C-alpha cells in the first residue's frame, strides 16, 4: 500500500497493492491494520456506492455537519472520475483550497477525505461507479452542500463547454461565503 500526501497534507492518496495473475488481480481495498501502520485510525461505519449513467455528472460539493461529520475513503469501482475535496476548516492554513485526483478502476487509487472538507466528483466516463467508506452514518438533518462552481473556490472540473448533470439539490446549493460553516481547524489530522 502506497500512501502519499497531497498539496493539502491531511488529504491522502492511498494505492493498495494489486496482485495480478492470469485471472486478473486481487487487492485488499481496505485494511484497518495497514491503515493503522500509516497512522490512520478512522473508524468507518457505512459504505456507500453510487452509479452515474453519464460522463459529466457532478455530485457535490457535500458535507455532513457535527455531530455527524464524516471522514471518507473514496475509490472508483468502475469507469473513471475526478474526485475533489475542499478544506473548509476555519483557521486552517489551507482554508478554501481544493485538491483533485483522478480515481479509476484502472489506477485503483483511493482518496482519504478528513472531517472538515467538502467532497464532490465529476464522472469522466458513462456508467461510472464510486464506492466510499464513511466514519459516521447518514444524517439528513446534518446534510449540507456548496455550489460545485463557487468562484471563490475555483475548481477546474475540466468540463469544457459541456453542462454537467446535477441534482436539484446541488443546482440550488449556496456559495461557501454564505454557508453557516460548522468546521474549525483543530490541528493537522495526522
Ligand X SMILES: Cc1cn([C@H]2C[C@H](O)[C@@H](COP(=O)(O)OP(=O)(O)O[C@H]3O[C@@H](C)C(=O)[C@@H](O)[C@H]3O)O2)c(=O)[nH]c1=O
How many chain residues bind ligand X (CB under 6 A)?
A: 11
Report the residue from 11, 14, 35, 62 that binds ligand X according to the rule CB under 6 A.
62
Residue 129: name the closest of 111, 104, 151, 109 by CA.
104
Catalytic residue among 38, 62, 68, 137: 62
Task: Clarify whether 49 is annotated catalytic.
Answer: no
How does DSSP classify residue 164? P
Report the residue from 35, 59, 148, 164 that binds ligand X according to the rule CB under 6 A.
59
Q: Is 174 helix (H, G, I), strand (E, B) or coil?
A: coil
Site for ligand X in 98-157 (CB under 6 A): 119-121, 138
Considering the rule CB under 6 A, would residue 51 count as an interface residue with ligand X?
no
Least Å distance, CB 137 to ligand X, is 8
Least Å distance, CB 173 to ligand X, is 11
Judge whether 146 and 61 are in contact, CB under 8 Å: yes
Site for ligand X in 14-43 (CB under 6 A): none
Least Å distance, CB 169 to ligand X, is 6
Task: Clarify whether 68 is annotated catalytic.
Answer: no
Whole-angstrom distance, CA of residue 177 vs CA of residue 15: 34
Residue number, nearest CB to ligand X: 138
Residue 13: name the closest of 101, 97, 72 by CA.
101
Catalytic residue among 132, 137, 138, 148: 132
Name the residue nearer to ligand X (CB basis): 34 or 77: 77
Q: HSE (CB half, 13 Å, CA atoms) of 60?
A: 23
Query: In degrees, to the nearest 5, what angle opens at C-alpha 172 toward C-alphas 169 and 173?
Result: 85
Q: Is 29 helix (H, G, I), strand (E, B) or coil?
A: coil
x/- mask, ligand X, residues 155-174, rule CB under 6 A, reads ------------x-x-----
Query: What sign does the CA torsion over 150, 156, 159, 160 have?
Result: positive
Strands 98-104 and 58-64: unpaired
Catalytic residues: 62, 132
| Interface contacts to ligand X, rule CB under 6 A | 48, 50, 59-60, 62, 119-121, 138, 167, 169
Amino acid at each position: 500500500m502506497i500512501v502519499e500526501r497531497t498539496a493539502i497534507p491531511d488529504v491522502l492518496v492511498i494505492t493498495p497493492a494489486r496482485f495480478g495473475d492470469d485471472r486478473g488481480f486481487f487487492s485488499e481495498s481496505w485494511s484497518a491494520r495497514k491503515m493503522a501502520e500509516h497512522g490512520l485510525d478512522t473508524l468507518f461505519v457505512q459504505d456507500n456506492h453510487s452509479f452515474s449513467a453519464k460522463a459529466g455528472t457532478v455530485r457535490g460539493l457535500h458535507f455532513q455537519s457535527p455531530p455527524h461529520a464524516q471522514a471518507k475513503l473514496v475509490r472508483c469501482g468502475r469507469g473513471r472520475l475526478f474526485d475533489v475535496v475542499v478544506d473548509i476548516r476555519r483557521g486552517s492554513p489551507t482554508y478554501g483550497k481544493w485538491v483533485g485526483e483522478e480515481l479509476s478502476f484502472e489506477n485503483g487509487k483511493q482518496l482519504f477525505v478528513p472531517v472538515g472538507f467538502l467532497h464532490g466528483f465529476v464522472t469522466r466516463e458513462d456508467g461510472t461507479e464510486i464506492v466510499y467508506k464513511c466514519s459516521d452514518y447518514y444524517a439528513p438533518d446534518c446534510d449540507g452542500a456548496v455550489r460545485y462552481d463557487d468562484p471563490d473556490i475555483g475548481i477546474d472540473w475540466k468540463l469544457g463547454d459541456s453542462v454537467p448533470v446535477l441534482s436539484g439539490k446541488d443546482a440550488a446549493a449556496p456559495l461557501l461565503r454564505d454557508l453557516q460553516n460548522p468546521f474549525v481547524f483543530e490541528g493537522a489530522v495526522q
